[in-house]
Amino acid sequence: MMSTRALGLGSPLRKTLFSPSLARNPSLIRTTFAKRAVQTESLPPSAAVDILNKQRLLRPSSPHFTIYQPQITWIASIANRVTGGALSALLYGFSLAYLFAPGTFDSVHVVEFVGTLPDTVKYAGKALLAAPFAFHGLNGIRHLSWDMGKFMSMKSVYLTGYAVLGGTAISTVALPFL
Amino acid sequence: MASSLLASSSKRALVRRGPSFAKSLLASRPATTQSSDALYVPGGPVYKGTVNDPTSFPEPSRAHGSHHWSFERLLSASLIPLTGAAFATSPSVHPVLDGILGVSLIVHSHIGFDSMLVDYLHPRKFPVLGRIATWTLRTATVGVLVGVYNFNTNDIGLTELISKVWHA
């Protein structure tokens, strides 16, 4: 601006820019200002969400836990849930059965039924109950000790993990003979 | 000169666009994202608000946070001596102990089942199935409490049952 004024060009430039003939010539304006090659569309934000959601559905899923190497850390963690769930399912199943059919699922009938089973089935069944009970109990203590801030190092996590596995193995064998 | 022209023209444009501009701003806050053609996929990603909305967090609550957590740990820890005591004593002599063990096991089980539902079938992701599962669990737990109460009052009680089945 200063330079145009210094050169004395301010007034001629202004004259050219604002001359009525220029404004009345649309073809000149079209060639002077660059044409927009891209077509744009005005969309409400909800449409933007639609587009994003559609794109999200096309995205690949992130790798699931199957990509991880089986390690005692996470195997024991999910086993804790599985064993606890299985034992709780047994408790719920029996209690609801007794609630709705107390004549069939009373202690006399249950004990009588178990008594008729062959020894192998009895011991196998007891081992099948002892294993999740021992694991969930021992691993529960392991979890509680973590909650108190104990055995938090990687070495301790593995050490306690193997201790729980060992204890579970011994209990699974010993408890059926109790 | 040119800049002042630009400023004045843009100001004019804003004034001219004023009411409709304000209206579009207000309309840019849709109530839901469910108007979408993209169907909701159960178990799929969770969309909340528009793309530019920040993540919302639940109100911090001690009842849902630390107290709940402490209660769970206390319950889990107390199951160890309770189970040991049930092993060591006769339930016919200590029916109260048997009752406490029964209720504790049910509450512990309910918490465990509920955390599974929260992890795998959250109502946020499964609006119908998740709610059905949660209420089925609650109903089942009430039924189990009644069932165990009946069994402990009218029959021999849980501890004695396990002991008898074990030696059957």
DSSP A88-132: HHHHHHHHHHHHH-TTTSSHHHHHHHHHHS-HHHHHHHHHHHHHH
Q: Which residue has the higher pLDDT, A46 or A94?
A: A94
CATH 1.20.1300.10 correct for B66-166: yes
Average pLDDT over residues A87-97: 97
Q: Which residues in chain A touch residue B141, judged by CB atoms under 8 angstroms apart?
A: 92
Is the pLDDT at A11 greater than 50? The verdict is yes
- Work out the burial of residue B122: count CB atoms within 10 Å of its CB; fewer than 13 is exposed, 13-18 middle, 19 or more buried: middle
User: Sign of torsion, CA B143 B144 B148 B154?
Assistant: positive
Same domain assignment for residues A25 and A75: no
Contact yes or no for A26/B32 (Cβ under 8 A):
no
- Residue A59, in any domain of the structure: no
Q: Inspect the interface and report whether the beta carbons of B166 and A48 lie closer than 8 Å.
A: no
Q: Which residues in chain B touch residue A98, judged by CB atoms under 8 angstroms apart?
A: 147, 150-151, 155
Same domain assignment for residues A75 and A152: yes
**What's the domain count of chain A?**
2
User: Sign of torsion, CA A93 A99 A101 A103?
Assistant: positive
Tell which of B28, B29, B137, B148 to mutate to test the A interface (max A CBs under 10 Å).
B148
Task: Mean pLDDT check: name the lowest of A28-42, A70-84, B88-102.
Answer: A28-42
What phi and psi values does residue A106 have, to the nearest 5 degrees? Answer: -75, 165
Tell which of A5, A15, A53 to mutate to test the B interface (max B CBs under 10 Å).
A53
Same domain assignment for residues A113 and A165: yes
Q: Inspect the interface and report whether the beta carbons of A46 and B50 lie closer than 8 Å.
A: yes
Residue showing tokens 């109260």: B96
Give the closest-approach CA distance of B127 to chain A in angstroms: 18
pLDDT of residue A53: 73
Cα–Cα dist B65/B61, whole Å:
6
Give the closest-approach CA distance of A157 to chain B in angstroms: 19
A141 at B interface, C-beta within 8 A:
yes
pLDDT tens track for A123-167:
999 999 999 999 999 999 999 999 999 999 999 999 999 999 999
Q: How many angstroms separate the Cα of A70 from the Cα of each of A45, A80, A160? A: 45, 15, 17
pLDDT of residue A18: 58
Q: Inspect the interface and report whether the beta carbons of A88 and B44 lie closer than 8 Å.
A: no
Cα–Cα dist A37/A172, whole Å:
76
Q: Which positions ≥6 away from B34 have C-beta within 8 Å?
A: B40
CATH number at residue A91: 1.20.1300.10
Q: What is the DSSP letter of B33?
A: S
- Residue A52, in any domain of the structure: no
Same domain assignment for residues A16 and A80: no
H helices of chain A, where?
2-6, 10-17, 20-23, 26-32, 45-58, 72-100, 107-116, 119-147, 154-174
Does residue B108 have a known ligand-binding role? yes
A12 at B interface, C-beta within 8 A:
no
Same domain assignment for residues A16 and A87: no
- What is the percentage of chain A residues whose pLDDT exceeds 70? 78
pLDDT of residue A42: 83
A64 at B interface, C-beta within 8 A:
no
Contact yes or no for B113/B137 (Cβ under 8 A):
yes
- Work out the burial of residue B60: count CB atoms within 10 Å of its CB; fewer than 13 is exposed, 13-18 middle, 19 or more buried: exposed
Give the closest-approach CA distance of B28 to chain A in angstroms: 6
Average pLDDT over residues A164-175: 97
Quickly count: other Cβ atoms within 10 Å of residue B102's Cβ: 24
pLDDT per position in chain B (168 positions), as tens?
344 444 444 444 444 444 444 443 333 333 344 444 555 555 566 666 666 777 777 788 888 889 999 999 999 999 999 999 988 887 677 889 999 999 999 999 999 999 999 999 988 778 899 999 999 999 999 999 999 999 999 999 999 999 999 998
Beta strand residue intervals within B27-151, DSSP E: none
Domain segments of chain B: what residues?
66-166
| A14, A85, A97: residue with CB nearest B112 | A85
Residue showing tokens 């009525």: A20
Same domain assignment for residues A29 and A116: no
Q: Which residue has the higher pLDDT, B164 or A59?
A: B164
Q: Which domain holds residue A124?
A: 69-177
What phi and psi values does residue A64 have, to the nearest 5 degrees? Answer: -90, -175
Maximum CA extent, chain A: 118
Q: What is the DSSP letter of B9?
A: H
- Residue A53, in any domain of the structure: no
Q: Inspect the interface and report whether the beta carbons of A106 and B155 lie closer than 8 Å.
A: yes
Whether ipTM exceeds 0.85: no
Q: Which residues in chain A touch residue B164, judged by CB atoms under 8 angstroms apart?
A: 107, 111
Task: Name which of B64, B45, B15 is nearest B122 in CA terms.
Answer: B45
- Residue A40, in any domain of the structure: no
- Residue A54, in any domain of the structure: no
pLDDT of residue B63: 86
Same domain assignment for residues A137 and A74: yes
Does residue B94 have a known ligand-binding role? no
Q: Which residue has the higher pLDDT, A10 or A165?
A: A165
Within the 148-177 window of chain A, which residues sit less than 8 Å (CB to CB) from chain B? none
- Search chain A and give the residue with CA nearest B145: A95
Angle, helices B129-154 vs A72-100, to 10°: value is 60
pLDDT of residue B25: 38
| A53, A84, A115: residue with CB nearest B47 | A53
